[in-house]
């Protein structure tokens, strides 16, 4: 694995690429002791920023959840009406309402995201010690 690119070197490479001072990415990589791949990735990022007109931020790695914010709101309302539903029952309601199949782990992540818990507070706070 190549060493991490220093901030000063990264800024210099970006300036060279933005101002088109050097088009040979192999030469830039050799000058700043980095890989050709790193220079190409930086060039593509700069091209994307120029095309869209603002800084480009890559998407987070990982899967996109099928549980959209609309589904999250539906589950919140569903749990307000009936908080004793099992996760497979929640999945069935989602299927009936949106025709989206969610697995049990997906339902679990959804419940964590909306901060739903089954914990119950028992007793009086003054007497609990």
Structural domain includes residue 1: no
* Cβ–Cβ < 8 Å for 10, 4: no
What tokens appear for 10 in the block?
A: 């990264």
Structural domain includes residue 103: yes
Structural domain includes residue 37: yes
Structural domain includes residue 63: no
Structural domain includes residue 84: yes
What pLDDT is attached to residue 66? 85
State the average pLDDT over residues 38-60. Answer: 86
- Is the same domain home to 73 and 104? yes
Q: State the residue for tokens 């569903």.
A: 78
Q: Minimal CA–CA distance to 66: which of 101, 92, 91, 111?
A: 101
Structural domain includes residue 109: yes
For residue range 87-102, list pLDDT tens digits in order.
Answer: 999 999 999 999 999 9
Question: Is residue 54 very low, low, confident or very high in pLDDT (cuts 50, 70, 90)?
Answer: confident
What pLDDT is attached to residue 59? 73
Domain range enclosing 90: 69-113
- Is the same domain home to 12 and 48? yes
d(CA 48, CA 82): 47
d(CA 113, CA 65): 11
Question: Is residue 120 very low, low, confident or very high in pLDDT (cuts 50, 70, 90)?
Answer: low
Structural domain includes residue 44: yes
> Would you say residue 1 has pLDDT above 60?
no
d(CA 91, CA 66): 12
Percentage of the chain surpassing pLDDT 70?
89
- Is the same domain home to 48 and 77? no
Count of domains for the chain: 2
Structural domain includes residue 64: no
- Is the same domain home to 73 and 42? no
22-50 as b/e, with b when 16 or more CB fall inside 10 Å? Answer: eeebeebbeebebeeebbeebbebeeeee
> Would you say residue 128 has pLDDT above 90?
no
């Amino acid at each position: 694995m190549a060493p991490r690119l220093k901030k000063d070197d990264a800024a210099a490479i970006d300036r060279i690429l933005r101002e088109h001072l050097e088009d040979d990415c192999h030469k830039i990589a050799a000058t700043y002791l980095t890989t050709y791949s790193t220079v190409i990735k930086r060039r593509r990022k700069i091209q994307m920023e120029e095309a869209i007109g603002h800084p480009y931020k890559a998407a987070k790695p990982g899967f996109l959840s099928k549980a959209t914010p609309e589904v999250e709101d539906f589950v919140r309302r569903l749990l307000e009406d009936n908080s004793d539903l099992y996760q497979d029952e929640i999945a069935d309601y989602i299927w009936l309402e949106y025709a989206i199949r969610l697995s049990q782990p997906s339902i679990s992540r959804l419940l964590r995201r909306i901060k739903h818990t089954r914990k119950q507070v028992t007793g009086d706070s003054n007497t609990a010690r």
